[in-house]
Amino acid sequence: MSVPHRAPSTLLNSRRSPLLVFAGQSNRPLAQAICDHLGVPLGHSTTEKFSNDNIIVHYEESLREGDVFIVQTFSTPVSDSIMELMLMIDAAKSASAGRVTAVIPYYSYARSDKKDSPRISIAGRLIADLLQEAGADRILTMTLHAPQVHGFFKVPVDHLSADVVLADHFKRSVPDAHTGVVLAPDAGSIKRASQIARRLDSGLAMIDKERLSDTEVRPRALIGDVEGKTVFIVDDEISTAGSLVETVNIARSMGAKDVYVAVTHGVYTGPAIQRIAALDVTQVASTNTVLVPQSKLDGSNGRLAVLDVAPLFADAITNIHTGASVSTLFT
């Protein structure tokens, strides 16, 4: 949803602190697209690696008193992405930035949000601690694996949702989407599925998954009616596509007609692309929170599509910068 605002040139210069946007290496095309929507240039910075694997970042322009936004998604190589962001935050603070917002479109460690086996780290909280220790004043992110991960941070977090983008995509793809059914792959995704079903004015169904071990799950039953209907599967992310294959198989076995998939984060690790290429679905769409390389698009048998969330991030940055409400973007 677009928020009414004045022309960027007037609006973004109306505060004493200039709006400055920088990016790490993980998803520069998204950062550039956000800047294009904002009407500001992407700031100049460099990142290098020494021969001993240490990273050094350097801003090539002044940040003094600036309202600085650093765009960095946590994609492969995840540890380098996180380290680079922390160095950029620390360097910005040392360079007298007025305020630093870490813009993290995909916070991958949100999956590590509880102690579900002995002697492990709740890494989602640890990374939150480290970002704040580095000097982040605010966080802007999208579709955390579990919304309560927000609570790991003591600084303000603006948690965007891609639901409106996913729902609009389904509506464009299937003109009579209201006759279809949104399918939640597990109980954890029922709220998201329900919100998208309301936007489509469609039916709703969910899969009851049985946990076999800490790492293995098996679909037990599909609750709802998908027979002869177009099914819209929604999820927070696709990593190996293991969950997706199970979800599609059970939907097909229950008589689903066409299957469309849309998720926020298209991480596509390991066998994901081969699995998707062989999957009995019309399309698998994800947003550009994670950069999907052309080789993966090419290998997907024409199944993958990418949806743009840069306008949402640009609107959120505008509202944060001007002190306007960000919650209008959630509805």
**Footprint of ligand R5P (CB under 6 A):** 185-186, 188-189, 235-244
Distance of alpha carbon 181 from the chain centroid: 23
Strand partners, 71: 23, 103
Residue corresponding to tokens 């059970």: 250
Positions marked catalytic:
209
Between 19 and 251, whose beta carbon lies closer to ligand R5P? 251
Contact (CB, 8 A) for 48 and 75: no
Between 26 and 247, whose beta carbon lies closer to ligand R5P? 247
Length of the chain as a residue count? 331
**Range list of β-strands (E), 155-274:** 157-160, 181-184, 203-211, 217-223, 231-238, 259-266
CA gap 173, 138 in Å, rounded? 36
Strand partners, 160: 142
45 phi, psi to nearest 5 deg: -150, 160
Between 215 and 325, whose beta carbon lies closer to ligand R5P? 215
By DSSP bridging, strand 217-223 and strand 67-71 are unpaired
Residue of 303, 297, 256 whose CA lies nearest to 279: 303
Instruction: Give the H/E segment covering residue 32.
Output: helix 28-38
Contact (CB, 8 A) for 97 and 70: no
User: Least CB distance from residue 275 to ligand R5P, whole Å?
Assistant: 9
Between 101 and 287, whose beta carbon lies closer to ligand R5P? 287
Instruction: Give the H/E segment covering residue 70.
Output: strand 67-71
User: Least CB distance from residue 47 to ligand R5P, whole Å?
Assistant: 28
By DSSP bridging, strand 55-59 and strand 45-49 are antiparallel
User: Least CB distance from residue 266 to ligand R5P, whole Å?
Assistant: 10
Contact (CB, 8 A) for 264 and 234: no
Between 188 and 299, whose beta carbon lies closer to ligand R5P? 188
By DSSP bridging, strand 99-104 and strand 259-266 are unpaired
Between 196 and 241, whose beta carbon lies closer to ligand R5P? 241
